[in-house]
A and B are shown apart, each in its own frame.
Chain A
Amino acid sequence: MGLSVDERWDLIDKISKETVTFGKYKHTLKDAVGELTIKPLTGIPIAIAVLYGLWSFFGSFAGFFTDGFFVSLFDEHFLPWIQSVFPDKGGWLYYIFVGDPLADNCFEAFGVLTSGLFIAIGVVLPAIIAFYLILTLLEDIGYMPRLAVLIDTILHKIGLHGYAIVPTILSLGCNVPAVTASRILETRKQRFIMMTLLAIFIPCGAQLGIMEEVIPDTMGYVLIYLLIGYFILGFILNKIIPGKSPEILIDVPPYQRPMLRNVRRKMQMRIVGFFKVAIPFVLLGCAVVNILYKGGVIDWLANVMSPLLSGWFGVPDETVGPLIAAFLRKDLAVAQLSAIPMTSYQMITSVVLVSIYFPCVATFVMILKEGWKDLLGSVAVLAAVVFLYGGLIHLIGILLGVA
């Protein structure tokens, strides 16, 4: 009863001949400028400029709020106040909620109400707002498909195609929506590669924000390690996983002026999402790590894990605490690392480890929703990657004489 594909197109031809007339259309200046952003020779420098803009805005905006105001608000006013008014100095509750009574800054206090609130509100929130503002603008203007076209060839080498840039960039904000966005990839193989790469190698906005604050000088190396890892692992997975990676034709919509209404609504949704998902986990993470410290679990684990941590990876045993926190939140973990005295080699390595070693719970649950088999696969890949890549970084450190 249905029409065949050809019959349907014939019918459409007839209908459109009768109803549609295409008038003359001359290329406008807007089209010409748009074309430049998509041709490789001109498009790649432009993409590099866009990335520069994103980064520079991110740094200035977050720095304005965090270094300009929140640091002194928290360290000079809030911390001394809560240290003095919280009852029962030396007790359990004090330790969990306020942390070290002698700390003079919120990074080193470690309490739920001190480090926890400062990290969530003082550092990560401004970073998230800055990042999402730019991301939302890029989305609404219509830049993403252009980026997809530009990067298509490279991503084919890792079994994906240009469109995989969409989940990748969303992931720089938060891995959670990025995992669902990988549904736009065609085959199971591609989705698996994408989710695994996201979970392992893409740092989220919260983590970027905290790195910008605590390790601004060495952050570049961390990102380079992550980027290289993304491509190496993608390349390997593409070779060993059976399945197809089809070609696609990328549809490029015209540029549009972003609408304030939509930008505002999306920003609001994303920030509310941050408050609902991220803040509870940061606070919970602080509490859990403190309880484990107090119970002696962390010291015990540090001892047990010592061969792996200081032996294989070349990082201090104390990093075990942050590694546990990283199950809950990566931003918290990086902040806790920054309070441990380390050489810059150790800092780079341990931050890379924290990034790659396990997706945070929220991401974990999202991947689980996409299918438990994929999740098991991802975790297996992850374990191998952490072990080997961590060892490799240590080896590089030894060869360079810094480890």
Chain B
Amino acid sequence: MKVLLMGHPNVGKSVFFNRLTGSNAIESNYPGTTVDYTKGYMLLENKDVEVIDVPGIFSLEPKDRAEEVSVKMLEEEKDAIVVCVFDASKIERGLYLALEIIEKGYPVIIALNMWDVATDKNIAIDVKNLEKILGVPVIATTAISGEGIAEVVSRIGEASPVKIRNIIKNAGD
């Protein structure tokens, strides 16, 4: 089993990765910090699980060399569990990429990162409802303080592929 971190640039994937694996991936407050993949390991149920941090992408159509790295990684790791990291204050963008990945048939788990920023901006997200509609685990996180990371780890096992049809149906009612 492998875990792949995917998401837009500057949503906190590298912070997340460092928290999970104790590595030293570079974190900076500008999009495009990570330009190559980094691999690390975390302990899950007493097993070493490989975690991969990749450059941020906007969609599965890469615009530049850094994004190509991510898309290629996703294609190569067919059996990976994808942790989609969102910027909770810009949830629509995150959903776009997450849906694309779900459509490809990957088991997905969603981290609504930067939860603190969303709260500051008075954005309220109904996490339970979102989870019900999407059919995948959704967790509010604040990677810089570590909030929610443990829950993401404990629920990685729950991730399983979902059909886009079901999401459309759930969103309808």
**Whether chain A touches chain B in the assembled complex (some CB pair under 8 Å):** yes
A residues at B contact (CB < 8 Å): 1-3, 8-9, 11-16, 18-25, 139-142, 144-145, 163, 166, 180-181, 183-186, 191, 251, 253-256, 259, 262, 265-266, 269
Cβ distance A260 to chain B, nearest Cβ, rounded Å = 12
Of A2, A266, A269, the residue contacting B103 (CB under 8 A) is A2
* A139–B144 CB distance below 8 A: no
Q: A142-B29, A145-B31 are in contact. Are A9 and B96 (CB under 8 A)?
A: yes
CB of B153 within 8 Å of the partner chain: no
Of B31, B117, B121, B171, the residue contacting A251 (CB under 8 A) is B31
A140 — which chain B residues lie within 8 A by C-beta? 27-29
Main secondary structure of the interface of A (DSSP, over half): helix
Please measure, in the bound complex, the distance between the C-alpha atom of A20 and the C-alpha atom of B92, giving whole angstroms. 10
Cβ distance B104 to chain A, nearest Cβ, rounded Å = 8
CB of B44 within 8 Å of the partner chain: no
Cβ distance B43 to chain A, nearest Cβ, rounded Å = 21
Please measure, in the bound complex, the distance between the C-alpha atom of A191 and the C-alpha atom of B65, giving whole angstroms. 9
B33 — which chain A residues lie within 8 A by C-beta? 139
Q: A259-B144, A262-B27 are in contact. Are A16 and B65 (CB under 8 A)?
A: no
CB of B24 within 8 Å of the partner chain: yes
Please measure, in the bound complex, the distance between the C-alpha atom of A1 and the C-alpha atom of B163, giving whole angstroms. 10
CB of B124 within 8 Å of the partner chain: yes
Interface residues in B1-38 by Cβ distance below 8 A to A read: 9-10, 24, 26-33, 35-36
Please measure, in the bound complex, the distance between the C-alpha atom of A163 and the C-alpha atom of B64, giving whole angstroms. 13
Cβ distance B45 to chain A, nearest Cβ, rounded Å = 28
Q: Return the 7 tightest CB-CB contacts between A and B, nearest first.
A: A23-B122, A142-B29, A183-B65, A139-B28, A184-B32, A14-B171, A144-B30
CB of B150 within 8 Å of the partner chain: no
* Mask of B49-75 contacts with A, CB within 8 angstroms, 1/0: 000000100000001111001000000
B121 — which chain A residues lie within 8 A by C-beta? 23, 25
The number of residue pairs between A and B whose CB atoms lie closer than 8 Å in the complex comes to 114
Q: A251-B10, A253-B10 are in contact. Are A8 and B96 (CB under 8 A)?
A: yes
Interface-lining segment among B77-85, B126-134, B154-162: B126-134
* Mask of B133-173 contacts with A, CB within 8 angstroms, 1/0: 11000000000100000000000000000001001100110
B66 — which chain A residues lie within 8 A by C-beta? 183-184
B residues at A contact (CB < 8 Å): 9-10, 24, 26-33, 35-36, 55, 63-66, 69, 91-92, 95-96, 99-100, 103, 117, 121-127, 129-130, 133-134, 144, 164, 167-168, 171-172
B103 — which chain A residues lie within 8 A by C-beta? 1-3
B24 — which chain A residues lie within 8 A by C-beta? 265, 269
* B123–A22 CB distance below 8 A: yes
* A18–B129 CB distance below 8 A: yes
Please measure, in the bound complex, the distance between the C-alpha atom of A210 and the C-alpha atom of B95, giving whole angstroms. 50
Of A9, A163, A183, the residue contacting B35 (CB under 8 A) is A183
Please measure, in the bound complex, the distance between the C-alpha atom of A265 and the C-alpha atom of B18, giving whole angstroms. 11
A3 — which chain B residues lie within 8 A by C-beta? 99, 103, 164
Please measure, in the bound complex, the distance between the C-alpha atom of A253 and the C-alpha atom of B28, giving whole angstroms. 11
A25 — which chain B residues lie within 8 A by C-beta? 121-122
Of B30, B65, B171, the residue contacting A145 (CB under 8 A) is B30
Please measure, in the bound complex, the distance between the C-alpha atom of A9 and the C-alpha atom of B36, giving whole angstroms. 29
* A139–B92 CB distance below 8 A: no
The chain B residue with its CB closest to the CB of A191 is B65
Cβ distance A160 to chain B, nearest Cβ, rounded Å = 13
* A15–B171 CB distance below 8 A: yes
Cβ distance A390 to chain B, nearest Cβ, rounded Å = 32
Q: A12-B96, A142-B29, A145-B30 are in contact. Are A181 and B125 (CB under 8 A)?
A: no
